[in-house]
Structure 1
Amino acid sequence: MCMTHKQLLTIDDLTTSDVLDIIEVADLLEKHRRRFGYLPALLRGKCLGMIFDETSLRTRTAFERAIGDLGGQAIHYNGAEARVGRHAAKTEHLPDFVKVAGGFNDVLLSRIYDFATQEQICALSPVPFINGMCDEHHPTQALCDFLTIKRQFGAVEGINIAFVGDGTNIALSLAQTAAKVGARFTCATPEKFALPADQTAHLAGFTATTDAEAAVKDAHVVVADAWIPMNKALEAELRREVLAPYRVTPALMTQARTDAVFLHNLPAYRGDEVVPEVIDGPQSVIYDEAVARLHIARALLLYCLRPDWADLVAAANAGTTEAFDRHLDEIAARSASRSLS
């Protein structure tokens, strides 16, 4: 673990306060943007380097837009250009790439499927690092899901979350986040696709089950993820057969609270993990959830890059949106003054 700058390799890199502060700042920044039509250029002159060995719609768009909203810019490297990741025809010595990319950029975001490679990039990076997704963890998605939950229910503590299907990276990052903020997380999977016990046994509020209906009973939030990961296409029919009892249907949703919402990180495969009547129905908030990734991206970049992050947190805790706006303007004015001096 790097001790000289901030990182988000897994949710375990954040404290409970970090998680709650990032969510709160993300929410208030978006409210500020809606009221005034812009955000202060708190990251003017900063550059985000993004490394993807898979195509990306939501993560890339969210982080490119986020740093642009705050006055910075982004550079995108695909796996072939960076010569890292599983699709690189010819690989480069990883430390060489990371050190050079870190020299060009102020923060790195990497979306490489192999967690061990992500760990190496994080350890080698001379600048802050964000895990944009890998096979074991998806921390940025978990944060945007909890922002969505907060907006729906006004709080995250005490919320009952049910994850149904394959025990994916989404499930693990959500379980870790739930444990930090005092939410309850029940993961319903076939035994074959359960989350590893060594990664969940210590998590407060975590329950594993093979019973989808029991998991969803009285849930505020029902979450699903794709059944056929990118690296499991050859197992598609077997996975569909084993996971069929975990499909989210209107009948399953009746076990949840009447005000329950449905989340899915997308892309979704209607007819597999969820039926159209649910994902396209009134309980689905998947599009709000998707856009929340932009709001979390802004807050994460500020968390990584602003030395006065604590001042932003204090502004967020000032009590009203008007007070936050006032404090935000003061922080922006100080930044502008320093850049001119």
Structure 2
Amino acid sequence: MNHFYGKSFLQESKFSATELNYLIDFAIHLKALKQKHLPHHYLEGKNIALLFEKSSTRTRSAFTVAAVDLGAHPEFLGKADIQLGSKESVADTAKILGSMFDGIEFRGFKQANVEALAKYSGVPVWNGLTDKWHPTQMIADFMTLKEHFGKLKGLTLAYVGDGRNNVANSLLVTGAILGVNVQIGAPADLQPAKDVIALAQQAAQQSGAQLLITTNPQAAVTSADAIYTDVWVSMGEKVDYHQRIDALLPYQINQQLLAATGKEGTVVLHCLPAFHNLQTSVGKQFMADYELSALEITDEVFQSSRSLVFQEGANRMPAIKAIMAATLGNLFIPDALFK
């Protein structure tokens, strides 16, 4: 039996705490197999389509290496190669790709597109990121926390910055499902949408997780075991950069905010890329009119022993590997585990 076989992985709220914990633990197991150079070709002979409307470093690399490690062949299709909704409907594209490939990854803008791919392709579809959700990132994030703390339930995770982007949405809902307390600090107009909050509250009622959404950054990080942030302007978003920076500077992860947790063992997470110094042209452009050397996180914190960002980034690969192997591999997973 394989409880996950044939399922798509489109958003976290469609999965239970037991299922998400299984994927996290399976990812940790697959990471160990890789480190010991033990083969795990669960997808031998499979062909995987990697659809990218948005550019990518970690997601593309993780899916490619994960597929190869599992014995599958990945085929990259960039925005110049796919015509989703422009020259060809998503449904038509899905039917053709589903007839040629055994699984499809999609990284793009509309959540409706990844859902249509899953509906019409007839094969498992994995959400590599949309404007609404970032579920593969969540398996890596909570995997990192479990590796570090040895548990998840009862931890407190704070997120500060742009609180209504895909990462904040996913952290709030996933944390609530897993029994992790989630505290979001963001300006009122950058807080999660009502439907996202409703999903999280519903999950929290079952798990016992405590949720807090506040405009006060110090209150948001109080007693946090981990503080998480993301870039202040999402890919493709058209905003007034000056207005956004002015609004979010109080939410920058720096030594002062880290101290406000009241805990010595608080760790720091970031899904990357991060504007923690002046070593990027985009970062320099954002900071040109300010006397700043960093935006959402200071270099001092980013490079410190508190930071797990590179462990977190590397964990994207085993996390994605676990998702693909569980949903497409011929694994024996007793259904009794999920009752």
* TM-score, structure 1 normalization: 0.86
Identity across the alignment (%): 29
Q: Which has the larger displacement, 251-260 or 115-124? A: 115-124
2:302 to 257, 262, 279: 279
In the other structure, the counterpart of 2:194 is: 197
How far apart are residue 4 of structure 1 and its match? 9.0
Counterpart contact for 1:157–1:182, Cα < 8 Å: yes
- Report the CA distance shift for 1:209/1:70 in structure 2 as closer, same or farther (over 3 A): same
Can you give the 5+ residue segments of structure 2 that lack an aligned partner in the other structure? Answer: 205-209, 277-293
2:259 to 254, 261, 275: 254
Look up the SS of the partner of 1:253 in the other structure. helix
Q: Which has the larger displacement, 290-299 or 192-201? A: 192-201
Counterpart contact for 1:25–1:312, Cα < 8 Å: no
How is 1:148-297 mapped onto 2 (pairs within 5 angstroms)? 148-167=144-163, 168-201=165-198, 202=201, 203-204=203-204, 205-256=210-261, 257-270=263-276, 271-297=294-320
How far apart are residue 233 of structure 1 and its match? 4.2
Q: Where is the helix percentage greater, Structure 1 or Structure 2?
A: 1
Look up the SS of the partner of 1:219 in the other structure. coil
Paired amino acid for 1:39: P
Q: Deviations over 1:188-216 (max 9, x none)?
A: 10001000123213241221111111111
How far apart in 2 are the matches of 1:305 and 1:140? 15
Paired amino acid for 1:280: Q
Q: Which has the larger displacement, 199-208 or 180-189? A: 199-208
Q: Which has the larger displacement, 221-230 or 199-208? A: 199-208
Look up the SS of the partner of 2:71 in the other structure. coil
- Quick check: 1:299 aligned with 2:295? no
Q: Deviations over 1:19-71 (max 9, x none)?
A: 00001011011112212x13221210011111001111100110110111111
1:127 to 123, 126, 139: 123
In the other structure, the counterpart of 1:5 is: 6
Counterpart contact for 1:107–1:304, Cα < 8 Å: no
Q: Which has the larger displacement, 176-185 or 120-129? A: 120-129
How far apart in 1 are the matches of 2:332 and 2:232? 38
Paired amino acid for 1:108: I
In the other structure, the counterpart of 1:76 is: 76
Q: Deviations over 1:206-251 (max 9, x none)?
A: 2111111111111100000100112224421111111111111111
Look up the SS of the partner of 1:132 in the other structure. strand
Paired amino acid for 1:267: P
Look up the SS of the partner of 1:232 in the other structure. coil
How far apart are residue 92 of structure 1 and its match? 1.4
Can you give the 5+ residue segments of structure 1 that lack an aligned partner in the other structure? Answer: 315-341
Q: Which has the larger displacement, 39-48 or 300-309? A: 300-309
- Quick check: 1:118 aligned with 2:114? yes
In the other structure, the counterpart of 1:42 is: 42
How far apart in 2 are the matches of 1:77 and 1:190? 37
Q: Which has the larger displacement, 147-156 or 205-214? A: 205-214
**How many positions carry a matched residue from both structures?**
307
Superposition RMSD on alpha carbons, in Å?
1.8
How far apart are residue 169 of structure 1 and its match? 0.7
How far apart in 1 are the matches of 2:173 and 2:94? 28
In the other structure, the counterpart of 1:17 is: 18
Counterpart contact for 2:104–2:125, Cα < 8 Å: yes
Greater relative contact order, per chain length (Cα 8 Å cut-off, separation 6+): 2
How far apart in 1 are the matches of 2:122 and 2:296? 40
Paired amino acid for 1:199: V
Q: Deviations over 1:317-339 (max 9, x none)?
A: xxxxxxxxxxxxxxxxxxxxxxx
In the other structure, the counterpart of 1:53 is: 53
* TM-score, structure 2 normalization: 0.87
Counterpart contact for 2:5–2:328, Cα < 8 Å: no
